[in-house]
Structure 1
Amino acid sequence: MIYVLCGKELKNGQAIRVYRNIRKKLFSIQDKKTRRLIAYADSLLLTDVEMKIVQSGQIRTRKERQKNIHAFIVGTYIESNKKSASESPNWKRVFYNPYNTDTFIDLESGKPVYSALSSYLVDGKCFVITEEC
C-alpha cells in the first residue's frame, strides 16, 4: 500500500528515490528532482534503477556507529500490485550494510550491484532484475 502525503502526488512514470525508513518500517519515497518526501510505501516497483550511496554519509555512519540516510534506490515508479511483481522467478535479493559493505550486494553471488532493469521493494527488502531474460 502507498500512503501519499497530503498535497503531494506520486504518478506512474515519475522519477523517484527511495530509502528504507527504519522507524516507520516502510519505504520513504522522495521526488528525484526536488528530493522532497512525497509518500511512504510497504512495497513498490521501479524500473531503470540505480543504487546510490552518498559516501560522506556512509563515512559518518561508520564513524558515529549511528545510521543516517545515505543509501537510495533511484528509478522510475511503476504502479503494480504485489502479486504480479512477485511472480517473476528472476528476482535477486540485494542488500546494503553500511558497516560491512561499500555498495549494494547481490545476496547469492556477493557481487556489487550498481544498477538494474527493475527493482521490487517489499517488507524492508530489495529485489532486482539485472539483465533481460
Structure 2
Amino acid sequence: MNNYKQFKGRKIDFSKPVKVYKNLNNGLFSVVQGGVVVAHVDTITLKAVSFKVSEVGRQRVIATKQKNVHAYVVGEVVTVNEKQPKNIGTHPPSRIMYNPYKFSYFYGEVTEYDLRKGRQANSVEKAKLEKFEVLHISKSGMIKTHIKTGQQGDKAA
C-alpha cells in the first residue's frame, strides 16, 4: 500500500481520512491530509466516501472559465495505486462524474443522480455510499463498486 509518490517527503496516514482531487499540472490525483498535499497517486480506492464542492470556487470557474481546485472526494484509504477491486455487490459498478458547468455536485453518469452527502436522489441510488461501497479513482474515471474492505465487522452484503 506504500507504492505511491510522496510529496515533499510527506506520507499518507492510512488511519485518517483524505481529500482527493485531480491535479491538472501532473495528471495524477493529489491526496490531501491536514490541509497539505501528502502524495500524488495514479489510482486510489476510498471507503466512507463523501463529495465536497465549494460553491464559491465553482462560481469562480464559471465566471473566469479557468479551472481551480474546488471539488474533492473525501474518504478513508483502502488501497493506493492498485487495480480496481472486484465488485461483490448485486448492482454493477457505476461511474461518478463532476462538471462545474452542469451541476453543483458530483453525479451518476447515467442517471445523473445527486451524490451530495445525505441527499437521496431516488429509491434506487443513495447519495452517501453504503457501508460496503467504495470509490475507485483512476484516470479512466471514478467507479462506485462493492468490495470487502477487510475491516473487523465487515461482511459481504
Place the TM-score, normalised by the shorter chain, in its bin. 0.7 to 0.9
Q: CA deviation at 1:120?
A: 0.6
TM-score (norm 1): 0.86
Specify the code of the residue in structure 2 equivalent to 1:87. K
- Alignment size in residue pairs: 129
Q: Which 5+ residue runs of structure 1 have no aligned equivalent?
A: none
Contact 1:12–1:79 (CA under 8 A) maintained in structure 2: no
User: Contact 1:25/1:124 (CA < 8 Å) preserved in 2?
Assistant: no
The runs of 5 or more residues in structure 2 that have no matched partner are 117-127, 147-155
SS in 2 for 1:79: strand
- Does residue 87 (structure 1) correspond to residue 100 (structure 2)? The answer is no
SS in 2 for 1:108: coil
The 2-side partners of 1:100 and 1:81 are apart by: 30
* Residue in structure 2 matched with residue 69 of structure 1 by the alignment: 69
Alpha-carbon separation, structure 2, partners of 1:21 and 1:120: 16
Distance (whole Å) between structure 1 residues aligned to residue 16 and residue 46 of structure 2: 10
Relative contact order: is structure 1 or structure 2 higher (C-alpha 8 Å, sep ≥ 6)? 1
Deviation >6 Å, runs of 4+? none
- Greater fraction of residues in strand: 1
Displacement after TM superposition at 1:81 (Å): 5.8
Task: Give the fraction of aligned pairs with identical amino acids, expressed as a percent.
Answer: 22
Write the deviation string for residues 60-97 of structure 1: whole angstroms up to 9, x where unpaired: 110111111000000111235633x3421642101101
Partner in structure 2 of residue 51 of structure 1: 51
Q: Which amino acid in the other structure matches residue 39 of structure 1?
A: A
Shift in CA distance, 44/2, structure 1 to aligned 2, threshold 3 Å: same
Instruction: Say if 2:135 is the partner of 1:119.
Output: yes
Is the deviation greater in 71-80 or in 39-48?
71-80
Q: CA deviation at 1:124?
A: 5.2
CA distance in 1, matches of 2:4, 2:80: 11
Residue 24 (structure 2) aligned to one of 22, 25, 32: 22
Greater per-residue helix proportion: 1
